[in-house]
Amino acid sequence: MEPFADVREQYARFAEEADDSPCFRDWASSVADDPAVLDLLAGLPAGKAQPNLVFAAARWHGVPAPGPYAALRAALLGPAWAAVRATVLARRTQTNEAGRLATLVPALTALEEDRPLALVEVGASAGLCLYPDRWGYAWETPDGPVVTGPEPRLPCRVETRGTLPPFPERPPAVAWRGGLDLHPLDVTDPDTTAWLETLVWPEHDDRRAVLAHAVELARADPPRLVEGDLLADLPPLVEQAAEHGPVVVLHSAVVAYLRGPDRERFHDLMTGLVAEGACRWVSNEAPQVLPRVTATGPEPPDGRRFVLGVDGRAVAWTHGHGRSMTWL
């Protein structure tokens, strides 16, 4: 998803990406062909017309999902628009999908040393992806299942263009966990948790169950979440994390919210920190977001997959919700 792209382009592309949500696929394709709704959404500030945010705000104010496009259209073009618009302006898409850990853990395994890791998540939201050690995993590979860790286990279908990923014998050990976000979320707040639940796509009951467990983990052992800008405030947090163990900076579906020049600045910042030995870097973004990472591997088969990178080199293509991965 490109939150700063042309509005029609955003919805047409989202209709393709939402192939496992019939409701959102229908809504997005219908918006893309609806001039009146497109004109309305075009009046929102830059970055605020994105489908995930608009659909969640409409659901927040009672639009049923799964449900017909007509109900969404009536809410957007009718009296309910004032309330929906206010929610769009006040809130953000900070889903922080913990299911992605099933694709991130093999990358973390490749970086494990003889000491537990100190994890720093960029764009952490509520820090729900900072608990790779508290989940079990069930990878379905061409050679059969690979299972590790306790229940509940995050499932992931694995394909390969060569060797299998470096699956761990046990979940990675974590000594310290912290995150950086412009607007960190507190999952002890019921309103925040309710919004995170609303961001989950309508038919995805499995993801709602994952979110509920991830919230329990964060409430029981809160991570250190710092309010700040990733370009300015990441190096001090990396330095703080280094007091606890080898640092790994990770992020997933975050850098897309930066404009193009800032994406390049972030890439330079991370490669500089890696070159200095300050940290390792695990990135998981859409192919066009960090093009220099994408260019180190084969051309992704389509734009719906993320590119998983380790220290700036592509190692896998991943599903945006962690359901599958292709190891390169």
Query: Contact, 228 vs 124, CB < 8 A?
Result: no
Strands 144-148, 136-141: pairing kind: antiparallel
Terminal CA-to-CA distance of the chain, rounded, Å?
A: 23
The answer as to whether 144 is a domain residue is yes
Last residue of a domain, one of 64, 90, 116: 90
Q: Using the 8-state DSSP alphabet, how is residue 286 labeled? A: -
> What is the CATH number for 274?
3.40.50
Does 20 share its domain with 146? no
Domain annotation covers residue 1: no
* pLDDT, position 68: 98
Structural domain boundaries enclosing 155: 98-327
Provide the number of structural domains found in the chain: 2
Question: What's the pLDDT at 8?
Answer: 97
Question: Same domain, yes or no, for 213 and 235?
Answer: yes
* Residue 2 resides in a domain: no
Can you give the C-alpha Rg of the chain in angstroms?
19
pLDDT digits (tens, 9 = 90+) for 282-319: 999 999 999 999 999 998 887 678 999 999 999 999 99
Determine the Cα–Cα distance for residues 155 and 143; give it in Å rounded to an integer.
16
Domain termination residue (choose one: 90, 122, 150): 90
Q: Is residue 16 part of a domain?
A: yes
| Domain presence at residue 311 | yes
Residue 250's CB is within 10 A of a number of other CB atoms, namely 28
The per-residue pLDDT string of the chain (328 residues; one tens digit each, 9 = 90 and over) reads 687 889 999 999 999 989 899 999 999 999 999 999 999 999 999 999 999 999 999 999 999 999 999 999 999 999 999 999 999 999 999 888 999 999 999 999 988 878 999 999 999 999 999 999 999 999 999 999 999 999 999 999 999 988 899 999 999 999 999 999 999 999 999 999 999 999 999 999 999 999 999 999 999 999 999 999 999 999 999 999 999 999 999 999 999 999 999 999 999 999 999 999 999 999 999 999 999 999 999 988 876 789 999 999 999 999 999 999 999 9
Residue 57 lies in a domain: yes
CA distance 308 to 317: 6
